[in-house]
Amino acid sequence: MFSERRVRAMQDSQVEISFECLPLRSVGRLDIPLDASSAFHERCQRIKDAIGKHGSHNTYYLFDAHCIFRLTNNPSCGMLRYGFEGTLMTDQGDLCTKACDLDVRLMQETCDWLNESVVTWFAETVLVAVRVEFDRYIAAGDLTRSKDRAARVAASCEESSGFLGMYL
């Protein structure tokens, strides 16, 4: 009985990671629409900057992303939620993660005992956790599906002379 409870507690304390993935090789145009909202304009600029810094081959832009660490089995005590956005680079075959360049920030926490060194250490841990999770993403075939979806959107854009319709 004790061992069953122990296993359940370990399963409940996993790291949660979520992100949207844009293969940078799928970005065909770098001009930002004139009527873009300020938030969209800023994201487009960050993507342009990522392409300028890391190139578009074997690079992926992660956004709308978060990483949650649960330090206790009580959601109202011991939770750290980090947001992140930035570039992830893979090897030549897109088989494993080589590096990541992410902007990581603490978004929410429920830790009375939190101090700056802990916040910094977990921000660094987000980078490691994202690399591990992206390798799992690749192994599950999700990277292939993302690249296929981006290729279909790019082809559709080319067929329609760059116009995909309102708000697309």
Q: How does pLDDT run across 101-156, given as a tens digit for each residue?
A: 999 999 999 999 999 999 999 999 999 999 999 999 888 886 666 667 666 666 66
- pTM over cut 0.75: yes
* Angstrom distance (rounded) from CA 163 to CA 168: 9
Q: Is residue 1 part of a domain?
A: no
Does a structural domain hold residue 77?
yes
* 10's tokens: 């370990």
Q: Is residue 124 part of a domain?
A: yes
Domain containing residue 69: 13-159
Q: What value does the mean pLDDT take over residues 23-27?
A: 90
Is position 6 within any domain? no
Whether 54 is in a domain gets the answer: yes
Q: Is residue 49 part of a domain?
A: yes
Provide the domain count of the chain: 1
Structure tokens at 22: 């844009």
Rg for the chain (alpha carbons), in Å?
19
Helix (H) / strand (E) element for 8: namely helix 2-12
Query: What is the tally of helices (H) and strands (E) in the chain?
Result: 4, 4
Using left for φ > 0, alpha for ψ between -120 and 50, and beta otherwise, residue 55 falls in: left
Q: Considering the chain, what percentage of its residues have pLDDT values greater than 90?
A: 57
Kindly state the average pLDDT of the residues 46-65.
Answer: 94
